[in-house]
């Protein structure tokens, strides 16, 4: 009888051990799953949020020397001066840049800024829509020592072809501007653009 009882107790003990092991295993799996989930959430929270840049990239502005050509975007904004839209493409070729005296341009006026320069350009519409170009009041000059200054003059207006006109697709004009710059060298900019991301449509490096 004692042997029977001893044998009967063994399976019972084994069954208890198996059940306890099973419960312990389930608890470990739940804990592991919970820790893995918490770790994943922590990883997601720690990652920095990706926000779009608030500043729009500046538009490319061709900087040209005598003999060079460059293409720039012509466009317009809405009635509020916002939402710039490119409508066509213009090309500028710098034909020549010559420093001149008042006598050479047949004027009795002296340059207020210091030096007259006759800048000859070819403007061409290489896009698919008309472009209206007006240069007076939007031609600026600057160098390393002087901030941008208005360089427009009325000298030479009415002589030869005018650059200020409406260019239909394929049309071009070669004409010149008499500009009043501070000194030889520096950069002349055509600031007649509505593009808010561009400080000028094109720029010309003047010879020293």
Q: Where are the domains of the chain?
A: 1-51, 63-205
> How far apart are the C-alpha atoms of 168 and 147, rounded to whole Å?
35
- pTM of the predicted model as reported, rounded to 2 decimal places: 0.71
Token pair recorded at residue 143: 């160098």
Shortest CA distance to 191 belongs to which of 146, 158, 151? 151
Higher pLDDT, 2 or 163: 163
Q: For residue range 24-49, list pLDDT tens digits in order.
A: 444 445 554 455 445 444 444 444 44
CATH architecture of 63-205: Sandwich (2.60)
Mean pLDDT of 64-76: 97
CA distances to 11, 22, 24, 70, 81 from 18, rounded to whole Å, are 10, 6, 10, 84, 79
């Amino acid at each position: 009888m004692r042997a029977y009882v001893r044998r009967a107790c063994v399976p019972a003990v084994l069954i208890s051990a198996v059940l306890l092991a099973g419960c312990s295993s389930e608890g470990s799996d739940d804990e592991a799953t919970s820790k893995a989930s918490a770790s994943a959430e922590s990883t997601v929270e720690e990652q920095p949020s990706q926000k779009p840049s608030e500043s729009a990239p500046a538009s490319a502005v061709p900087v040209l020397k005598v003999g060079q050509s460059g293409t720039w975007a012509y466009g317009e904004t809405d009635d509020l001066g916002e939402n710039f839209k490119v409508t066509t493409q213009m090309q500028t070729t710098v034909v020549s840049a010559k420093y001149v005296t008042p006598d050479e341009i047949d004027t009795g006026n002296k340059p207020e800024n210091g030096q007259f320069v006759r800048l000859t350009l070819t403007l061409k519409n290489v896009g698919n829509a008309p472009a209206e170009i007006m240069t007076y009041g939007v031609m600026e000059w600057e160098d390393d020592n002087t901030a941008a200054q208005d360089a427009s003059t009325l000298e030479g207006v009415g002589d030869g072809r005018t650059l200020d006109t409406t260019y239909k697709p394929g049309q071009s004009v070669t004409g010149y501007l008499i500009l009043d710059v501070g000194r030889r060298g520096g950069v002349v900019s055509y600031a007649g653009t509505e593009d808010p991301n561009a400080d000028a449509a094109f720029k010309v490096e003047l010879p020293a």
